[in-house]
Amino acid sequence: MGYIYLDNAATTPMADSVIDVMHDQMINNFGNASSTNYYGRRARQVLDDSRHIIAQSINAKDSEIVFTSGGTESDNTAIMSTALSRQNLGKHIITDQTEHEAVLRPMEYLETLGFEVTYLKPNEKGVISVEQVEEALRDDTILVSIMYGNNEVGAVNPIKEIGELLQDHQAYFHTDAVQAFGTEDIDVKAEHIDFLSTSAHKLNGPKFIGFLYENADKHIPSYIRGGDQETKRRAGTENIPAIAGFAEAVKIADDDEKKRRRETYYSFKQKIQSILTEQGINFEVNGPTDAHGLNHVLNLYLPGIEKSVLLTRLDLEGFAISGGSACTAGSLEPSHVLTAMFGENSPRLNDSIRISFGKDNTMEEVEKFTNKMAEIVKDLTN
C-alpha cells in the first residue's frame, strides 16, 4: 500500500537537490568554518554563500542572519534575550494565545521571573488585529511577539501593520515565521520586523537547522554562550552540510515557486471542500476560508467525528494527516489554538483535523484522500 503524505505542516520530505547538496558537503567539505586553513576557508565560503542566499530571500543583510538549530531555538533566543536584556525599560510583553509552544513556554517562564505577559485572543478565524495590539501596548512594553502564520489553522496575522504601529515605540517586534517562510512573500524591512524565526524542515530542507533574523539596529546578547561563531551571536560549530541544504531549499522556493505553491494549495483546499459537499458530509473550516491564509494548511471540523478515530482509520488506509500541531500530538490536552478561537467547551476541539500540503502532492492524491475520508465519515455516522 502506497502512503499519501498530507502532514506537511509537521515536517516536509527533503528535496532531492537538498539531499545531493548535503551529501556533497559531507564528503568534500568537512572543515570547520572557524579554522583558517584551506579546509576551514572552504567551509567558510559555503557558510557565507548560504547566508547570502537566505538573507536575500527576506530582504535582509547577510550579517543579520544567525544560524540556529531551528525554530524553537530562534524563538527562545529572540524572546529570552530581549526580555532579560531590556527589563530595565519595562517588564511587559505582548503575544497571542495561538502561538506555538516554542513561544508560549518561554513566555510562561518569564512570568515566573516577574514579567507581565498579555495574551491576545484571536477572532474565530484565528487572526489577531492591529487594534488589539495597539490597545494592549503600554509605555513599559519591551517586546511584541505575534506569529506570522498559524501552524494549525493557517491564519495569517497583519504583520506589516503591527510593525508599522511599533515604529515609534520602544518595543521590539518578533514574529515566528516557521510555518510561513517558504510559502509567503516576506520582507523584513518593509514589514518592520526586528526578529524573525524559521526552520528548514518546513520547506523541504533538513531538520535541526534554522535561522534567526536579527535587525542590525536592534541589539540582544547571545543566548547560547561559548565560542565566537556567528559573529559572537550563537556559539557552536556551524553545521555546514545542513546550512548548505537549507540554502538549497530556499533557492528552490523562489518567488515564482512560492506563487505556484500558493495557487496549487488553494486549489487543493477548494477541491476537498467541493468533494465533501458533493458527498453530503457535514463540515466547517476552522480558520480562513479564502486565499489570504496559509494555503497549505486546511483545518476541518467534522461534527460528531472523533479525530483520533478518523486519524487511525485514515492511517490504516494509507493517508497521513494530523489532529493539530505535531509538537503536541501526543498530548491528551485539546488544541490550545482551537480553544483560543472557540472556547474550551467547543466540540471542535475533539472533532477537528488538520490537512497540510507539500510541493510534491498532486490533485489526484487530494481527490483520492478526500473520497476515502468521506467514505470513512459516512461509515462512522451510520
Distance CA 193, CA 174 (A): 6
Return the amino acid letter for 114.
G
151 catalytic per annotation: no
Q: How far apart are alpha carbons 94 and 173 in whole angstroms?
A: 10
Q: Is 214 helix (H, G, I), strand (E, B) or coil?
A: strand
State the residue for C-alpha cell 490597545: 135
Other beta carbons less than 10 A from residue 325's beta carbon: 20
β-strand 195-197 against 210-214: which pairing, if any? antiparallel
The torsion defined by the Cα of 336, 298, 292 and 103, in degrees rounded to 10, comes to: 30
Phi-psi region of 360 (alpha: psi -120 to 50; beta: other; left: phi over 0): alpha
Instruction: State the amino acid at position 171 in one-letter form.
Output: A
Cβ(144)–Cβ(117) under 8 Å?
no
Q: Amino acid identity of 194?
A: D
Q: Are strands 172-176 and 116-120 parallel, antiparallel or unpaired?
A: unpaired
The residue annotated as part of the active site, out of 327, 328, 368, 380, is 327
Q: Are strands 92-96 and 141-145 parallel, antiparallel or unpaired?
A: parallel
DSSP 150: -
DSSP conformation class of 174: E
Q: Give, in order, the Cα–Cα distances in Å from 218 to each of 51, 57, 229, 311.
A: 19, 20, 19, 45
Asked if residue 174 lies in contact with residue 196, where contact means CB atoms within 8 angstroms, the answer is yes
> Is the separation of the CB atoms in 280 and 352 below 8 Å?
no
Active site residues: 327
